[in-house]
């Protein structure tokens, strides 16, 4: 098997909680040596963000499940860089690195000499990625950034939830997760530039920018029409029927993306007349008359059992699905076939649960050779390597 794509790249992670560690975990999956620098007094805050907590076979607390969701594949060193000695050790580590990821407040690392301008003199190839709520510039630059706040300010919550009801955030911290992903993209592009030119650079990532960016078609719906999109529950602003619908024993998702699929849906439901009705024959017409269309579908679907209907729709090539909880999603034959759940051996007799990265690569597959580290687990090992490099 070939080396993983980022083998030989060293990353120093001065980040905690989610966005920065998410980026670090993905870089580790791709083969980078990611060294997580943690405060000896408790480490990453998410180690305590439970229950639930991961337990060893003998009952030892191995940190919260939240921590393990975003720190696979890394080495942990416990160094207090608020002390001159600790800061000097981290500088020596960074001198050996290709990438730094940090998510401190704007200017927060300058007093330790761990800001980009201080470090690049000794390491001109360094790619330095700062992740904050609002970025390094603008009137909000010094505000703390929390995913919930960002979802509210950047438009996400205004289009999430039922019409007329309380605005809703997503059920996972999507501003953090997307910012972590975009950070990896930017870091890899910056590494390519450094490879060609020998010149590193500063990467300024903001949750606010990311959350606006990923609103996708909803952004363009506004920019073209001048009208801000609104909450539509599970309906789609531009497609119909594309929503959750009730059946006799629960609910299904119906995602009709074109007129041919709509005709097939009507055939399954015995509503062939709708496919030829000018009010419903085309997607623009269905969007315009979505309320009446939904009423007709709800009345018909009340007589269908969920699984029987889903089987018929699949046979007719009409996109539809059940609404699984997370347990049902992991138990789904497709998730099992794709190996989405992993159990990682920590070398001490514990199999720690994890979820593989959603990338299958034929020549340079991701590596999953270590679970999330214990606090300071690799301090001695990493510092010994540092001494060898300094010698």
**Average pLDDT for 149-168:** 96
Q: What is the pLDDT of residues 319-361, one digit of tens each?
A: 999 999 999 999 999 999 999 999 999 999 999 999 999 999 9
Q: Would you say the CATH fold of 242-329 matches that of 10-215+341-390?
A: no
Q: What is the pLDDT of residues 258-280, one digit of tens each?
A: 999 999 999 999 999 999 999 99
2 pLDDT band, cuts 50/70/90, is: confident
d(Cα 198, Cα 203) in Å, to the nearest integer?
16
Give backbone dihedrals phi and psi of 382, rounded to 5 degrees, phi first.
Answer: -70, -40
Question: Which residues have CB under 8 Å from 48's CB, separation 6+?
Answer: 42, 63, 64
391 pLDDT above the threshold of 60? no
Q: What is the pLDDT of residues 82-110, one digit of tens each?
A: 999 999 999 999 999 999 999 999 999 99
Q: What is the pLDDT of residues 225-263, one digit of tens each?
A: 999 999 999 999 899 999 999 999 999 999 999 999 999
CB neighbours of residue 236 within 10 Å: 16
194 pLDDT above the threshold of 80? yes
The pLDDT value recorded for residue 388 is: 76
Question: Which residues have CB under 8 Å from 108's CB, separation 6+?
Answer: none
CB neighbours of residue 313 within 10 Å: 22
Indicate the helix (H) or strand (E) that contains 20. Answer: helix 19-29
Question: Which residues have CB under 8 Å from 340's CB, separation 6+?
Answer: 330, 355, 356
Strands (DSSP E) found in 58-105: 61-64, 75-78, 99-102
With vertex at residue 379, the alpha carbon angle to CA 115 and CA 44, rounded to the nearest 5 degrees, is 60
365 pLDDT band, cuts 50/70/90, is: very high
**Average pLDDT for 196-225:** 97
Which token pair is 135? Answer: 């970025």
3-state secondary structure of 80: coil
Q: pLDDT higher for 253 or 389? A: 253
Q: How far is CA 43 from the centre of its chain?
A: 22
CB neighbours of residue 39 within 10 Å: 17
Mean pLDDT (the chain) is 96
The question of whether 273 is a catalytic residue gets the answer no
Give backbone dihedrals phi and psi of 260, rounded to 5 degrees, phi first.
Answer: -65, -40
The pLDDT value recorded for residue 1 is: 61
CATH code for the part of the protein at 242-329:
3.30.1540.10
CB neighbours of residue 337 within 10 Å: 8
Helix axes 259-269, 306-315, angle to 10 degrees: 130
38 contacts 74 by C-beta, under 8 angstroms: no
166 forms beta bridges with: none
Residue with tokens 């018929």: 312
- Which class is domain 10-215+341-390? alpha beta
Which residue ranges make up each domain of the chain? 10-215+341-390, 242-329
For the chain, give the number of residues.
Answer: 391
29, 147, 176, 204: the catalytic one is 176
Q: Which of 39, 172, 18 is nearest to 101 (CA)?
A: 18
CA dihedral 329, 333, 338, 343 (to 10 degrees): 70
From residue 339, alpha-carbon distances to 95, 347, 371 in Å are 38, 21, 16
Q: What is the pLDDT of residues 5-15, one digit of tens each?
A: 999 999 999 99
293 pLDDT above the threshold of 70? yes
Q: What is the pLDDT of residues 106-133, one digit of tens each?
A: 999 999 999 999 999 999 999 999 999 9
CA dihedral 276, 282, 288, 290 (to 10 degrees): 70
Q: Is the dihedral of CA 116, 119, 115, 46 positive or negative?
A: positive
**Average pLDDT for 175-202:** 98
**Average pLDDT for 192-202:** 98
Strand duo 10-14 + 99-102: pairing: parallel
Q: What is the pLDDT of residues 136-158, one digit of tens each?
A: 999 999 999 899 999 999 999 99
102 contacts 131 by C-beta, under 8 angstroms: yes
Residue with tokens 């080396």: 3
């Amino acid at each position: 098997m070939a080396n993983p794509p980022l083998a030989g790249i060293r990353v120093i992670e001065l980040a905690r909680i989610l966005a920065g560690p998410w980026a670090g975990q993905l870089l580790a999956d791709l083969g980078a040596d990611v060294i997580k620098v943690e405060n000896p007094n408790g480490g990453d805050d998410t180690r305590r963000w439970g229950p639930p907590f991961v337990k060893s076979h003998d009952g030892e607390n191995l940190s919260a499940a939240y921590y393990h969701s975003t720190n696979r594949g890394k080495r942990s060193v416990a160094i207090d860089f608020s002390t001159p000695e600790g800061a000097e050790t981290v500088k020596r580590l960074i001198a050996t690195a290709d990438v730094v990821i940090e998510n401190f407040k704007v200017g927060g690392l300058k007093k330790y000499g761990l800001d980009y301008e201080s470090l690049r003199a000794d390491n001109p190839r360094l790619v330095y990625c700062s992740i904050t709520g609002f970025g390094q510039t603008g009137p909000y630059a010094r505000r703390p950034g929390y995913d919930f706040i960002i979802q509210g300010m950047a438009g996400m919550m205004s289009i999430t939830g039922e019409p007329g009801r309380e605005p809703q955030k997503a059920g996972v911290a999507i501003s953090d997760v997307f910012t972590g992903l975009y950070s990896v993209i930017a870091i890899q592009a910056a590494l390519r530039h450094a490879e060609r030119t020998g010149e590193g650079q500063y990467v300024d990532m903001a949750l606010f920018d990311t959350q606006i960016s990923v609103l996708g078609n909803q952004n363009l719906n506004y920019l073209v029409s001048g009208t801000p999109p609104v909450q539509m529950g599970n309906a789609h602003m531009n497609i119909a029927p594309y929503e959750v619908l009730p059946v006799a024993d629960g609910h299904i998702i119906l995602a009709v993306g074109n007129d041919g699929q709509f005709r097939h849906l009507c055939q399954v439901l015995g509503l062939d007349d709708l496919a030829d009705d000018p009010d419903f024959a085309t997607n623009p017409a269905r969007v315009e008359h979505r309320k009446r269309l939904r009423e007709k579908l709800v009345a018909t679907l009340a007589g269908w059992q969920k699984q029987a209907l889903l089987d018929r729709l699949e046979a007719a090539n009409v996109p539809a699905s059940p609404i699984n909880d997370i347990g049902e999603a992991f138990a789904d034959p497709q998730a099992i076939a794709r190996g989405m759940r992993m159990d990682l051996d920590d070398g001490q007799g514990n199999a720690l649960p994890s979820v593989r990265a959603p990338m299958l690569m034929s020549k340079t597959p991701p590596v999953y050779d270590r679970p999330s580290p214990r606090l300071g687990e690799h301090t001695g090992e990493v510092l010994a390597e540092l001494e060898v490099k300094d010698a």
